[in-house]
Amino acid sequence: MGDDWRVGIAFGVLPRSLHSFRRALISALGSRLGDQVAVSSSRWGTRIFLYAPSAGSADEAAQVAREVLARHDVSAPVRTERWSPREQKWRDADEMSADVAAERQALHEARQERERQASVTSGRPAWEVRAELPSHDDVVRLAGHLAAQGWRVRPHRRHLIVGADCEDDAKSLARELSGDGRADADTAFRVGRVSYSYMLFDAHPTQVTGGGGPLVRNFSSPSQPTRRSSRRTIGYAPILS
């Protein structure tokens, strides 16, 4: 059983009912979590540790500990910790989660910047968004509008390809082309299936969105209050039959 997570119960002063509390705690843990949680104590008994294999098991064990403490009228802080392989020590689970999230975000932003630089160096976009439309006239109209917004567009007979310098830009445009909302008849574009692909090394789509029936996509003017993204403002509405 893994023990990457643990719940610590720290007693400032050992309660007289420590042994009965420990027995009640083990019994409650067994009934709620089976053998998922292992129980140990510090040398002098001032701390009890509950080792768990997952965040969910640790949260449940912490809740059980608080309930048993309350029933025995014992006051003691309950803290959930996670083992850090890099630092080789136990750390507060909330602090460690925040650090992991920040590190992942930094890595993501660095990857986006590398893709932008690769797009500039290679002279071609790292990502492409493909949008299928019902007619060539729809392709021409949407291609013109996107080109006016600064996108690099290659129109085809029933679909168009839009270049994006990084994954974030590709996802943003794909979401906008696949979304739902309100449309204005003067600026509506009918878009079907939408997909996006990483193009510098792999020409196969990495994710597909849309395709649930024809929708009208409206690329609104600045005066129209619609859902916003980092690059464009677009509204949507279903085609009425």
What pLDDT score does 160 carry? Answer: 93
Tens digits of residue pLDDT in 151-162? 999 999 999 999
Q: Is the pTM of this model over 0.85?
A: no
The residue count for the chain: 241
> Do strands 89-92 and 235-238 pair parallel, antiparallel, or not at all (unpaired)?
unpaired
Beta-bridged to residue 9, according to DSSP, are 48, 78
What pLDDT score does 208 carry? Answer: 41
Whole-angstrom Cα distance, residue 142 to residue 156?
11
User: Quick one: pLDDT band at residue 2, thresholds 50, 70, 90?
Assistant: low
Q: Is the pLDDT higher at 82 or at 187?
A: 82
Domain spans, the chain? 5-96, 124-238
Q: What's the mean pLDDT when you consider all of the chain?
A: 77
According to CATH, what is the number of the domain 5-96?
3.30.70.270
Whole-angstrom Cα distance, residue 82 to residue 91?
5
What pLDDT score does 179 carry? Answer: 65
Tens digits of residue pLDDT in 140-152? 999 999 999 999 9
Whole-angstrom Cα distance, residue 149 to residue 142?
11
Task: Provide CB contacts within 8 A for 99, sequence distance 6+.
Answer: none
User: Quick one: pLDDT band at residue 163, thresholds 50, 70, 90?
Assistant: very high
3-state secondary structure of 172: helix
